[in-house]
């Protein structure tokens, strides 16, 4: 006990900064972390393969439910929602502009593997491998419809979220996807009360309508929808001819099954073409307006960067030296940094924000313009079709299709005969 007391006295208080003392670097080993990283990747590939097999080969929902349970238990509560494919967007963006940032291999794989599977088979990652989507899927009981106009407007939000997440990551400001994650506090059984409350609200909503976070907030889902729309192999509800019974449309929790459409307004083909051309011609103008507005807002957006906030605080302190010094300002002076150095950093950050904000504004205009064009396209459909951009391969429609029921009955007869 005396030895411990002497050791404590000799170590505290710690030496002053002015003494020239150099603190030794301390490394903390994370036991078995490399082992769990391997387990993460193997399980990620295995679960996505299981969903692919269930959706394409068997057209059954059972394995997808099992996948969802495993994902919520392992990737959600055991691994506490990290590593996260959704948040990896920011790591990839930061690595592109900062050569001093070390991008962990596991983060790169969690970003790329679901995209590769989406390009090959559609959004099988969203089906039940993503713990966020899986948790909402397991809680879903009813599917109250959201009006088409409201859902179309809300579907723009994930793209805006993605653009702003990239903006702040590229400018080394913050990781807003991680900062405002509504489910991470639930998986970790603690955290910011406001975010936990927001996550709980989303989960309550998911009981009555399909996957509100996936449809109207998830930036990674927006990215996957691009690759899913051009996937090599596309999910089919049934191999047989559609009988237009509407059951698949009613069962889909994310409104990814498009009903038959006929030109009820008797709009001529030329009228539709002219309308689309107007939007196409106006698209550059919408992008230009978005770019200008975001460029004008770049100064306000830059306050997300800690150096910009520090610059403002130091400027206030210099103008009013009698004011009580804030801890950030005190640390600035204690580090021996100069005003000239801070000014240079501030100017460089403002220039960076001006460039990236302009690009972000143009992308926002592009998203809005393309959404208007998409809403203007009215293609005649004679039967129910899957919109592969939004289909999350949950498999609910398989059991509702009467054509599939006939196949299942036939399979059961064969199995019983054997």
Question: Can you give the pLDDT at residue 211?
Answer: 95
Cα 43 to Cα 57: distance, rounded to the nearest angstrom: 20
Question: Can you give the pLDDT at residue 276?
Answer: 77
Question: Can you give the pLDDT at residue 377?
Answer: 75
Question: Can you give the pLDDT at residue 18?
Answer: 54
Quick one: 41 exposed, middle or buried, by C-beta within 10 A (0-12, 13-18, 19+)? middle
Question: Can you give the pLDDT at residue 264?
Answer: 54
Q: Are 114 and 182 in contact (CB under 8 A)?
A: no
Phi, psi of 389 (to 5 degrees): -65, -40
Question: Can you give the pLDDT at residue 134?
Answer: 96
Cα 223 to Cα 389: distance, rounded to the nearest angstrom: 10
Q: Which pLDDT tens digit goes with each residue over 45-93?
A: 999 999 999 999 999 999 999 999 999 999 999 999 888 999 999 999 9
Structure tokens at 299: 């100064």
Structure tokens at 209: 């309508």
Distance from first CA to last CA of the chain, Å, rounded?
76
Taking each helix axis from N to C terminus, what angle separates 339-376 and 306-319, rounded to the nearest 10 degrees?
A: 130
- For the chain of 418 residues, list the mean pLDDT of each consecutive stretch of 10: 46 52 56 84 97 93 95 96 92 94 94 97 95 95 87 94 97 94 93 94 94 96 95 91 88 90 61 76 93 96 94 91 89 90 94 96 95 80 90 91 67 46
Cα 179 to Cα 205: distance, rounded to the nearest angstrom: 22
């Amino acid at each position: 006990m005396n030895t411990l007391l002497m050791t404590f006295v000799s170590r505290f208080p710690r030496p002053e900064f002015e003494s020239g003392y150099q603190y030794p670097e301390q490394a903390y080993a994370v036991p078995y972390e490399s082992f769990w990283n391997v387990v993460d990747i193997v399980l990620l590939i295995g679960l996505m393969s299981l969903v692919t097999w269930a959706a394409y080969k068997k057209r059954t929902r059972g394995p997808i439910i099992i996948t969802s349970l495993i994902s919520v238990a392992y990737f959600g509560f055991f691994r506490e929602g990290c590593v996260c494919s959704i948040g990896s967007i920011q790591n990839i963006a930061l690595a592109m502009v900062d050569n001093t940032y070390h991008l962990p291999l596991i983060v790169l794989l969690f970003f790329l593997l679901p995209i590769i599977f989406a390009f090959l088979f559609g959004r099988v990652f969203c089906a039940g491998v993503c713990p966020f989507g899986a948790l909402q899927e397991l809680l879903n009981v009813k599917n109250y419809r959201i009006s088409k106009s409201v859902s179309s407007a809300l579907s723009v939000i994930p793209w805006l979220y993605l653009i702003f997440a990239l903006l702040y990551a590229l400018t080394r400001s913050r990781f807003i996807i991680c900062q405002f994650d509504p489910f991470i506090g639930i998986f970790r059984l603690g955290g910011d009360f406001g975010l936990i409350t927001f996550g709980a609200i989303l989960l309550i909503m998911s009981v009555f309508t399909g996957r509100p976070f996936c449809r109207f907030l998830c930036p990674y889902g927006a990215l996957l929808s691009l690759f899913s729309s051009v996937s090599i192999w596309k999910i089919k509800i049934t191999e047989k001819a559609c009988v237009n019974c509407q059951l698949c449309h009613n069962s889909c929790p994310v409104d990814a099954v498009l009903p038959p459409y006929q030109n009820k307004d008797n709009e001529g083909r030329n009228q539709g073409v002219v309308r689309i051309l107007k939007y196409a011609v106006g698209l550059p103008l919408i992008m230009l307006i978005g770019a200008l507005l975001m460029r004008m807002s770049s100064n306000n957006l830059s306050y997300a960067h800690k150096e910009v906030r520090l610059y403002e605080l130091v400027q206030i302190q210099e103008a009013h030296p009698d004011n009580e010094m804030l801890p950030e300002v005190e640390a600035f002076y204690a580090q021996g940094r100069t005003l000239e150095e801070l000014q240079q950093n501030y100017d460089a950050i403002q220039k960076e924000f001006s460039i990236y904000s302009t690009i972000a504004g143009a992308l926002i205009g592009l998203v809005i313009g393309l959404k208007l064009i998409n809403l203007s396209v009215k293609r005649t459909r004679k039967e129910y079709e899957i919109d592969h951009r939004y289909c999350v391969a949950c498999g609910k429609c398989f059991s509702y299709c009467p054509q599939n029921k006939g196949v299942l009955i036939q399979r059961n007869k064969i199995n019983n005969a054997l």
